[in-house]
Amino acid sequence: MMNRTKGDEEEYWNSSKFKAFTFDDEDDELSQLKESKRAVNSLRDFVDDDDDDDLERVSWSGEPVGSISWSIKETAGNSSSSHEGREQLKSRNSFSSYAQLPKPTSTYSLSSFFRGRTRPGSFQSLSDALSDTPAKSYAPELGRPKGEYRDYSNDWSPSDTVRRLRKGKVCSLERFRSLQDKLQLLEEAVSMHDGNVITAVLIFLKRTLSKEILFRELEVRQVALRHLIHFLKEIGDQKLLLDLFRFLDRTEELALSHYREHLNIQDPDKRKEFLKTCIGLPFSAEDSAHIQDHYTLLERQIIIEANDRHLESAGQTEIFRKHPRKASILNMPLVTTLFYSCFYHYTEAEGTFSSPVNLKKTFKIPDKQYVLTALAARAKLRAWNDVDALFTTKNWLGYTKKRAPIGFHRVVEILHKNNAPVQTCRDLKDRQQLLAYRSKVDKGSAEEEKIDALLSSSQIRWKN
């Protein structure tokens, strides 16, 4: 098996003609790197002796002291603490304490960037900057915040209105009362391409048109329609959004949009009930099955969670005492749930909800996925007999056979990671696997010797 893979690899690299760059540990390049590191490190004593003037001053969190991000973290870190803490904070955040910073130049925030241009720590006033900025024409924009432009004139044409809106000016739309005027306004906005203005007009239309008329007109104006949909999503007007999808006959989006709401429900039982309402929605056939599975999975998890929490706190069950659970199983993916079940409930009868076989059947988990997950779970517990049994099948005459539905290099990887004994591999009668395993163990180790002995043994009938 490994031979074949290797051959393929070589063929690939040869056929595609560019240099195979590897990230393998044994690579010359890494040793080169290590050597460089040693060389540089050997200089450290000499270098680190005195001043650190070129080193950035960095707080415990890694932010340069004096940077805005650093300062905010300090505020946040202290804001929940006592009154006293807040007082300290006040003085720390006051200007004077920043003035005491050793050298403003040592923070990269600003001065290093302006080196040679502005004096460190100083800043140019507005007027300075304007006078030496070549683009004086930019100044008017600077000088007048746009919010101050106010104009309630009623005489603007649709195109003037739209242009003013683009500049951020406040501009009344109330005079556009006929449907024709409203639509003309919308079309001007669309033809100008500014999404902010399109949305502004849509807000006005939404307020002043019945939803049937609004929907009808937007159905033939796709650009505007997409803006309305996005706007409704953002402000969370779920009701109108669903009405719109219904009107447009976009049943799948309707269903997905409804389903999305489950993410906002934290309580597991309520979430489960909500998912139940999603089952009948007009999803594609394929997605309907996924939704059903989602519901069933959460339902199972709620049962398993309640049960196991009880078992764990009772302290009578060995597996929970030896391996306390690190997290709740609620809302975990199916594969994680399967792993959990292989870990804590491996031997349970198929009839129980928490048994791995039950999960496998309920969710039609493919053999490959099942074996991979079970292997990982049992190897983690070092339950080598279970691992062995995973690869044993009986045919109808009662003969046993070893086989694995997943690549043996994966098996080896998992076994090796969990320090599986060489015996396990031998029991698999898999010579290739053993060879692969040999490449993973340390050279000259006891394991290696054992493997060599096994490989040369004539007692074993290798299956490959």
Q: Which residues, 411 to 450, sit near another protein by CB under 8 A? A: none
Residue 273 binds another protein, judged by CB under 8 A: no
Q: Are 420 and 379 in contact (CB under 8 A)?
A: yes
Among 45, 155, 234, 318, binds another protein (CB under 8 A): 234
Query: Restricting to residues 26-65, which ones interact with another protein according to CB under 8 A?
Result: 29-30, 32-37, 39-44, 46-47, 53-56, 58, 60-64
Nearer to another protein, 163 or 429 (CB): 163
Nearer to another protein, 433 or 454 (CB): 433
Please choose, out of 106-114, 149-157, 239-247, 378-386, the segment that lies near another protein by the rule CB under 8 A: 106-114
Please choose, out of 152-160, 302-310, 360-368, 396-404, the segment that lies near another protein by the rule CB under 8 A: 360-368
Nearest approach in angstroms of CB 170 to another protein is: 9
Q: Are 379 and 414 in contact (CB under 8 A)?
A: yes
Q: Are 293 and 363 in contact (CB under 8 A)?
A: yes
Residue 227 binds another protein, judged by CB under 8 A: yes
Among 258, 262, 272, 345, binds another protein (CB under 8 A): 262
Residue 81 binds another protein, judged by CB under 8 A: no
Nearest approach in angstroms of CB 108 to another protein is: 5
- According to DSSP, the residues that pair with 58 across neighbouring strands are 64
Nearer to another protein, 4 or 443 (CB): 4
Residue 197 binds another protein, judged by CB under 8 A: yes
HSE-up of residue 73 (Cα within 13 Å, Cβ side): 12
| 295-298 long-range contacts, CB within 8 A, separation 24+ | 296/362, 296/363, 297/334, 297/337, 297/363, 298/268, 298/271, 298/272, 298/330, 298/331
Nearer to another protein, 112 or 392 (CB): 112
Residue 184 binds another protein, judged by CB under 8 A: no
Q: Are 437 and 451 in contact (CB under 8 A)?
A: yes
Query: Restricting to residues 369-408, which ones interact with another protein according to CB under 8 A?
Result: 369, 372, 407
Nearest approach in angstroms of CB 452 to another protein is: 26
Nearer to another protein, 352 or 369 (CB): 369
Residue 287 binds another protein, judged by CB under 8 A: yes
Residues 6+ apart with CB under 8 A from 247: 211, 212, 215, 219
- Report which secondary-structure segment, H or E, holds 402: strand 400-402
Residue 281 binds another protein, judged by CB under 8 A: no
Residue 270 binds another protein, judged by CB under 8 A: no
Residue 99 binds another protein, judged by CB under 8 A: yes
Residues 6+ apart with CB under 8 A from 405: 367, 368, 371
What string marks each residue from 111 to 130 as x (binds another protein by CB under 8 A) or -?
A: -xxx--xx--x-xxxx--xx
Please choose, out of 286-294, 306-314, 319-327, 379-387, the segment that lies near another protein by the rule CB under 8 A: 286-294
C-alpha dist (Å) from residue 348 to 67, 343, 358, 359: 58, 11, 9, 12
Nearer to another protein, 36 or 439 (CB): 36
Q: Are 291 and 272 in contact (CB under 8 A)?
A: no
Please choose, out of 283-291, 394-402, 431-439, 441-449, the segment that lies near another protein by the rule CB under 8 A: 283-291
Residue 142 binds another protein, judged by CB under 8 A: yes
What letter does residue 43 receive in the DSSP assignment? T
Nearest approach in angstroms of CB 403 to another protein is: 18
Among 76, 314, 327, 349, binds another protein (CB under 8 A): 76
Nearer to another protein, 232 or 428 (CB): 232
Residue 265 binds another protein, judged by CB under 8 A: no
Residue 268 binds another protein, judged by CB under 8 A: no
Phi, psi of 82 (to 5 degrees): -65, 170
Among 1, 2, 57, 89, binds another protein (CB under 8 A): 89
Residue 361 binds another protein, judged by CB under 8 A: no
C-alpha dist (Å) from residue 130 to 123, 125, 143, 431: 13, 9, 10, 79
Residue 7 binds another protein, judged by CB under 8 A: no
Nearest approach in angstroms of CB 297 to another protein is: 7
Residue 231 binds another protein, judged by CB under 8 A: yes
For the four alpha carbons of 267, 268, 271 and 273, in that order, the dihedral sign comes to negative
For the four alpha carbons of 438, 439, 440 and 445, in that order, the dihedral sign comes to positive
Q: Are strands 170-171 and 150-151 parallel, antiparallel or unpaired?
A: parallel
Strand runs labelled E in 146-286: 150-151, 170-171
What letter does residue 138 receive in the DSSP assignment? G
Q: Are 248 and 215 in contact (CB under 8 A)?
A: yes
Q: Give the separation between CA 262 and CA 434, rounded to whole angstroms.
A: 48
Query: Please, what is the Cα angle at 283 between 281 and 285, to 5 degrees?
Result: 120
Residue 254 binds another protein, judged by CB under 8 A: no
